[in-house]
Amino acid sequence: MAYKYCVKENWGKDFFTHEERRMFHLEGHPGNVWIVGDNNHGDAWIAKISGTVKTKSEAQAIVTGVIETAQGVWDNDNVDGESSDEKIRRLGSKPATYNII
């Protein structure tokens, strides 16, 4: 399956509808990156939200950048005397970068 990539902040209600979810693939990622099924319905949705179209590598860079920032926040959030296991229990695991589809 082919995908398109765009950036747009979710404005809330009706940003994506049930009908749109049935018509094309849609994934939201950190940095307001959206992976959109490459069909007429996906194109219409990108136009509806006035999404800024990105290449896959541009989208990947945005997602990775946001997660790396989150990793820095996680690294710097420490409590005196807290073990690494306790930190994971408190904050959840350290955010990990990943490859988008």
Partner 1 sequence: MTDFKAIKGFTVQSIATNPVPTVAAWSSGGNMNTARSQLAGAGTQTAGIVFAGDTGGASDSVDTELYNGSSWTEVNNLNTGRVALAGSGTQTATLAIGGAPNRTNNESFNGTSWTEVGDLNTGRPALYAIGTTTASLVFGGNPNKNETESWNGSAWTELNNLNTGRSDLSGAGTTTAAVAYGGEGGLTNTEKWNGTSWTEVNDLPTGIFGGWGSGVQTNALLFGGKTPAPANSAVTYIFDGTNWTTGATMGTAVYQPAGSVGGTGATALQAGGDVGSYNAGTQEYNNYAGDTTQTHQNEGQVYYNTTTNLLKLTATVYGTGTWASGGTLNTGRSDSAASINGTQDSSLIAGGAGTSGRVAIAESYNGTSWTEVGDLNTARSPVAGAGTATAMLAFGGETPSAQVALTEIWNGSSWTEVGDLNQARYAVGGAGTSTSALAFGGESPVVALTESWNGSSWTEVADLNLARSFLAGMGTQTAALAAGGSPPNRAQTETWNGSSWTEVADLNTAASRLAGAGSQTSAIVFGGFTPSVTAKTESWNGSSWTEVNDLAAARRNLMGTGTSTLGLAIGGTPDGSAQPGATEEWTVPATVSNVTVASS
Total chain residues near partner 1 (CB under 8 A): 40
Q: Contact, 34 vs 16, CB < 8 A?
A: no
Nearer to partner 1, 48 or 56 (CB): 48
Exactly one of 7, 8, 38, 41 binds partner 1 (CB under 8 A); that residue is 41
Report the b/e string of 41-59 with b at 16+ CB within 10 A.
bbeebbeebebeebeeeeb
Q: Does 95 bind partner 1 (CB under 8 A)?
A: yes
From candidates 48, 54, 56, 87, binder to partner 1 by CB under 8 A: 48
Q: Is 4 in the site for partner 1 (CB under 8 A)?
A: no
**Residue 101 interacts with partner 1 (CB under 8 A)?**
no
Please report whether residue 83 would count as binding partner 1 according to CB under 8 A: no
CA angle at 5 for the pair 3 and 10, rounded to the nearest 5°: 120
Number of Cβ atoms within 10 Å of the Cβ of 62: 19
Residue written as token pair 């049935």: 22
Query: Considering the rule CB under 8 A, would residue 40 count as an interface residue with partner 1?
Result: yes
80 binds partner 1 (CB under 8 A): no
